[in-house]
């Protein structure tokens, strides 16, 4: 049901939807080529029915060895992981896989750009957190410290961005502003 009251609220859209929409916009406007990677699946059984497409009848989800999204933007290699949290006060580190962290570190070492896009769904706020900052908090956890990044820390370390209309989440504009400000 459409209403005249168009809102940029996140209700009903997942962060993944919002990013896929944004990436489509970037692609069709020749701004960047960034895609979500397919979910890795281990295929155990496939049937080949006569006159129709092969059917996978047994398969299992595998844990990803890299991140959700990668691609190229103005010659820069872009690599990020998207995460939502319902918490209003902190971003939990538990559902980040160690091999994803390792992957991002490897990306940085090859002069790629690695970051998280984090959505606090309850308070409708979005942050871009560079791997270099994330790493400090990840290491704090490894050393026995807190298992999350507080909202205050997030505000201090990351780039906050607003959802908009087109593109839905202009994370490349946010990155560009930030990179410009460093010059």
Numbered residues of the known binding site for Mg(2+): 66, 68, 81, 100
Report d(CA 177, CA 29) in Å as an integer: 19
Q: 68 contacts which partner out of a second copy, Mg ion, none, CB within 5 to 8 A by kind?
A: Mg ion
Pick from 26, 10, 147, 18: nearest CA to 86 = 10
Measured from the CB of residue 84, what is the shortest distance to Mg ion in angstroms? 8
Specify the residue for token string 């940029």.
8
Q: Which does 133 bind (CB under 5 to 8 A by kind): a second copy, Mg ion, none?
A: none
Does 56 interact with a second copy (rule: CB under 8 A)? yes
Where in 67-96 is the site for a second copy (CB under 8 A)?
70-77, 79
Virtual torsion, Cα 125, 130, 132, 135, nearest 10 deg: 40
What do you get for the CA distance between the two ends of the chain, in Å?
47
If one asks whether residue 106 binds a second copy (CB under 8 A), the answer comes out as: yes
Indicate the SS3 state at residue 19: helix
In the complex, minimum distance from the CB of residue 169 to Mg ion, in angstroms, rounded to a whole number? 14
Per CB under 8 A, does 60 bind a second copy? yes
Query: Of a second copy, Mg ion, none, which one does residue 151 interact with (CB within 5 to 8 Å by kind)?
Result: none
Q: Is the peptide bond before 167 cis (omega within 30 degrees of 0)?
A: yes
Q: How far is the CB of 8 from a second copy (least distance, A)?
A: 28
The answer to the question of residue 66 lying near a second copy (CB under 8 A) is yes
Q: Residues, the chain, total?
A: 183
Helix (H) or strand (E) run with residue 79 in it: strand 76-85
- Binding-site positions: 66, 68, 81, 100
Compute the distance between CA of residue 29 and CA of residue 91 in angstroms, rounded to an integer: 33
Number of residues in contact with a second copy under rule CB under 8 A: 38
DSSP H or E run through 99? helix 98-109
Which residues of the chain form contacts with a second copy (CB under 8 A)?
27, 30, 32-33, 35, 37-41, 43, 53-61, 65-66, 70-77, 79, 103, 106-107, 109-112
Which residues of the chain form contacts with Mg ion (CB under 5 A)?
68, 82
């Amino acid at each position: 049901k459409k209403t005249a009251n168009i809102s940029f609220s996140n209700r009903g859209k997942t962060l993944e939807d919002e990013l896929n929409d944004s990436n489509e916009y970037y692609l069709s406007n020749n701004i960047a080529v960034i895609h979500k990677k397919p979910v890795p699946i281990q295929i155990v059984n496939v049937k080949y029915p006569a006159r129709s497409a092969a059917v996978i009848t047994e398969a299992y989800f595998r844990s990803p060895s890299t991140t959700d999204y990668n691609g190229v933007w103005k010659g820069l290699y872009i690599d990020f992981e998207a995460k939502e949290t319902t918490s209003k006060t902190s971003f939990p580190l538990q559902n980040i896989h160690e091999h994803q962290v390792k992957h991002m570190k490897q990306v940085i070492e090859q002069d790629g750009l690695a970051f998280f896009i984090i959505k606090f769904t309850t308070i409708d706020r979005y942050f871009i957190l560079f791997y270099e900052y994330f790493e400090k908090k990840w290491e704090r956890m490894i050393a026995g410290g807190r298992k999350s990044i507080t909202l205050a820390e997030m505000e201090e370390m990351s780039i906050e961005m607003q959802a908009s209309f087109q593109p839905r989440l202009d994370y490349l504009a946010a990155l560009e502003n930030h990179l410009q400000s460093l010059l």
